[in-house]
């Protein structure tokens, strides 16, 4: 399905009229009249080895959500060497670590749904049923939480060691301003200090 979608997007970005009848998508005489000067890169997200391999074979880059060197390796072995490897990391900054962990568990219980389950559920009601099986405290324990930069630095180091080029932090919860102040005053200087020490 994803392979067909990527091919179809790239066909449409040519500006040509496209008719496509595939196993997953049907397009009749479709055309983009305002195409980008350059086709946008297709960054393929993948949570398992099959998706990481597909990303390396067909994508212009890889987006992961776990510091798994085997997934980065699968991407590179399938043709991803030299292509960007990006990671998305959810964090929950807060003045109180226990409260931040509780908030992470409340807002992102789907992060612990196993295997394909978190990808294939068809409705919100199904997700609500599935997360009843999730231990909310365990969710919070998987996130970098609280006011100290140390757990955030540990998480970033794990992604760096796994082979990612860039890491994007996503603050879970409403206090975006607090997280940005934390980034500016504590986390960014700590990262610069660590980078300088590694030279």
Regarding whether 93 and 20 lie in a shared domain, the answer is no
Q: 151 with 192, same domain?
A: yes
pLDDT at 71: 95
Q: Is there a single domain that holds both residue 121 and residue 71? A: no
Cβ atoms of residues 161 and 67 within 8 Å: yes
Q: Which DSSP category does 20 fall into? A: E
H or E element at residue 170: strand 166-171
CB of 47 within 8 A of CB of 56? no
Q: Are residues 65 and 105 in the same domain?
A: no
pTM metric for this prediction: 0.84
Domains in the chain, number? 3
Closest CA to 169 of 181, 177, 161, 179: 179
Task: Choose the final residue of a domain: 29, 59, 83.
Answer: 83
Q: Give the chain's residues under pLDDT 50.
A: 199
Same domain? For 54 and 1 the reply is no
- Does residue 151 sit in the same domain as residue 197? yes
pLDDT at 108: 86
Residues 26 and 52 placed together within one structural domain of the fold: no
Residues 160 and 91 in one domain: yes
Q: Tell me, yes or no, whether 98 and 142 share the same domain.
A: yes
DSSP H or E run through 70: helix 69-75
Last residue of a domain, one of 55, 83, 111: 83
Same domain, 71 and 128: no
Q: Which long-range contacts (CB under 8 A, 24 or more apart) does 186-193 make?
A: 186/149, 187/149, 187/152, 187/153, 190/149, 190/153, 191/153, 191/156
Do 189 and 99 lie in one domain? The reply is yes
Parent domain of 56: 45-83
pLDDT of res. 61: 97
Query: Where a domain ends, among 83, 111, 137?
Result: 83
In this prediction, residue 198 carries a pLDDT of 59
Q: Does 147 share its domain with 173? A: yes
């Amino acid at each position: 399905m994803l392979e067909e979608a990527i091919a179809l997007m790239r066909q449409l970005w040519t500006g040509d009229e496209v008719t496509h009848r595939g196993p997953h998508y049907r397009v009749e005489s479709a055309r983009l009249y305002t195409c980008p000067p350059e086709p946008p890169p297709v960054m393929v997200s993948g949570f398992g080895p099959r998706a990481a391999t597909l990303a390396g074979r067909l994508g212009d880059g890889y987006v992961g959500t776990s510091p798994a060197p085997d997934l980065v390796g699968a991407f590179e072995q399938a043709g991803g060497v030299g292509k960007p490897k990006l990671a998305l990391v959810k964090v929950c900054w807060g003045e109180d670590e226990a409260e931040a962990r509780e908030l992470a568990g409340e807002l992102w219980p789907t992060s612990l749904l196993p295997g394909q389950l978190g990808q294939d559920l068809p409705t919100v009601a199904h997700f609500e049923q599935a997360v009843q099986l999730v231990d909310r405290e365990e969710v919070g324990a998987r996130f970098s939480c609280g006011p100290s930069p140390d757990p955030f630095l540990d998480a970033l180091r794990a992604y760096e060691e796994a082979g990612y080029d860039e890491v994007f932090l996503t603050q879970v919860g409403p206090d975006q301003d607090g997280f940005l102040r934390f980034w500016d005053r504590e986390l960014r200087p700590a990262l610069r200090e660590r980078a300088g020490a590694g030279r």
